[in-house]
Amino acid sequence: MLPLQIGSFTPKAPVVLAPMAGVTNRAFRAMCRSYGDELVYVNEMVMSHAVVYRNDKTLTMMQFGDDESPRSLQIYGSDPDMLGRAVHQVCDEGRVDHVDLNFGCPAAKVTRKGGGAAVPAKPKLLQQIVRRAVQAAEPYGVPVTAKFRMGLWDDLRTDITTGRICADEGIGWIALHARTVEQHYSGEARWEAIGALKEAVTDIPVLGNGDIWEASDAVAMMAQTDCDGVVIGRGCLGRPWLFGDLITVLNGGEAPAPRRLGEVAEAMRRHARLLTDHYAGFGGEEHAMRDFRKHCAWYLSGYPVGPDVRRTLAQVSSLAQLDDVLGAFDPDAEIVEGGERIKRGHTNGPIKVALPEGYLDDPDELAIPDDADVMALSGG
């Protein structure tokens, strides 16, 4: 197994929090870190244009905790020049210890212009983007990693070529979300593709991603695919303690029993306060509570909480109101059997993949996708 490393930092277990747009901000990562310190926790993605032009919202999105180490940021960009500038800027300003590149964004708005998950179908463009990012980060000793999907659809697989290009261009590790763009979030992740990528790319760590809901799934994925580590997305939505469980289980221990509702409520209170701090300069408590509504649904999935309470939390607008509702919970209530595996976050698909007219006619064509307006997307 190849070790994951960011400078002199080696995580306690080969586990990475998947970047999730609108979710993995400073507050969410602080929650996860409180249960499992010393892993790699990646910030939600930011757009290269928005970084370069210092968009206010993007600056809010790029916050890290004072005690956070390493500071990992995912940058999205399909224009090599813009991406290089963004990577240079965040490194030069000392904002990050690690940059992750997103080549898996399946949003039609993006792929229709040849950006995001469409880029791997143009290997030369992909190579230029990766090269510019690595060159920009290198003088600062900041490693660059990449995350991508299996391909556009089953007959257009790009994962192996993408992995090879990344390895040849100096990428630190690659992570495969084992679905095609067409699949979007449907069906089960196809872990066999992770095994095949690991066999094809032997010089840098290969991480597996997709459908790890409980710590035992990570053990199973690593055993089945021989991958060097795991990337955890939806499994930790409403379950930030999953990272503590992963450290325990991947180091040979037993996973603790599922949390009772009292512990869940305590986490919700803490998370809502951290989110309010996070948005202090950008809408404060009101904005934070709006954002927290989706987390309420995730925290409570599988717990015996009635529809009226859920409806109230779907419109919760203050910390005081949240505390009132949580105060009435039965702290001893347990999650239903299999509740940890209830799918959360995105579940939809398959989708029709949108591409520019004639996009696949010439894979060597080097038209630069225009992703200047790619804001507010949920990216992978």
Ligand X SMILES: Cc1cc2nc3c(=O)[nH]c(=O)nc-3n(C[C@H](O)[C@H](O)[C@H](O)COP(=O)(O)O)c2cc1C
Q: Which of residues 153-192 bind ligand X (CB under 6 A)?
A: 177, 189
The CA–CA distances, whole Å, from 345 to 82, 114, 198, 378 equal 30, 25, 27, 11
Query: Could you say which of 74, 180, 225, 301 contacts ligand X (CB under 6 A)?
Result: 74
**According to the binding rule CB under 6 A, does residue 61 interact with ligand X?**
no
**According to the binding rule CB under 6 A, does residue 209 interact with ligand X?**
yes
Query: Could you say which of 21, 130, 265, 268 contacts ligand X (CB under 6 A)?
Result: 21
Active site residue 105: yes
Bridge-partner residues for 176, per DSSP?
Answer: 148, 208
Q: Is 310 annotated as a binding residue?
A: no
Query: Could you say which of 70, 163, 208, 233 contacts ligand X (CB under 6 A)?
Result: 233
Q: Is 147 annotated as a binding residue?
A: yes
**According to the binding rule CB under 6 A, does residue 146 interact with ligand X?**
no
248/378 with CB nearer ligand X = 378
Quick check: helix, strand or coil at residue 145? Answer: strand
**According to the binding rule CB under 6 A, does residue 18 interact with ligand X?**
yes
**According to the binding rule CB under 6 A, does residue 208 interact with ligand X?**
no
- Among residues 150, 139, 156, which one has the least CA distance to residue 174? 150
CA dihedral 49, 53, 56, 59 (to 10 degrees): 70
Considering the candidates 105, 166, 227, 236, report the single residue annotated as catalytic. Answer: 105
- Among residues 270, 219, 211, which one has the least CA distance to residue 240? 270
- Among residues 134, 123, 225, 115, which one has the least CA distance to residue 172? 134
CB of 178 to ligand X, least distance (A): 8
By CB under 6 A, which span of 53-61, 232-240, 254-262, 319-327 interacts with ligand X? 232-240
Q: Which two tokens stand for residue 220?
A: 């199973």
Convert residues 23-42 into a mask of x (bound to ligand X by CB under 6 A) and - (unbound).
x-------------------
Q: Which two tokens stand for residue 248?
A: 């325990």
Q: Which two tokens stand for residue 373?
A: 């307006």
Q: Is 20 annotated as a binding residue?
A: yes
**According to the binding rule CB under 6 A, does residue 215 interact with ligand X?**
no
Q: Which two tokens stand for residue 112?
A: 């229709």
The CA–CA distances, whole Å, from 237 to 66, 151, 232, 233, 298 equal 23, 26, 10, 7, 6
**According to the binding rule CB under 6 A, does residue 234 interact with ligand X?**
yes
**β pairing state of 144-149 and 46-47:** unpaired
**According to the binding rule CB under 6 A, does residue 147 interact with ligand X?**
yes
- Cα separation of 339 and 118, whole Å? 35
Q: What is the DSSP letter of 6?
A: B
CB of 181 to ligand X, least distance (A): 12
Q: Is 19 annotated as a binding residue?
A: yes
146/261 with CB nearer ligand X = 146
Binding site for ligand X (CB under 6 A): 18-23, 44-45, 74, 102, 104, 147, 177, 189, 209-212, 232-235, 345-346, 378-380
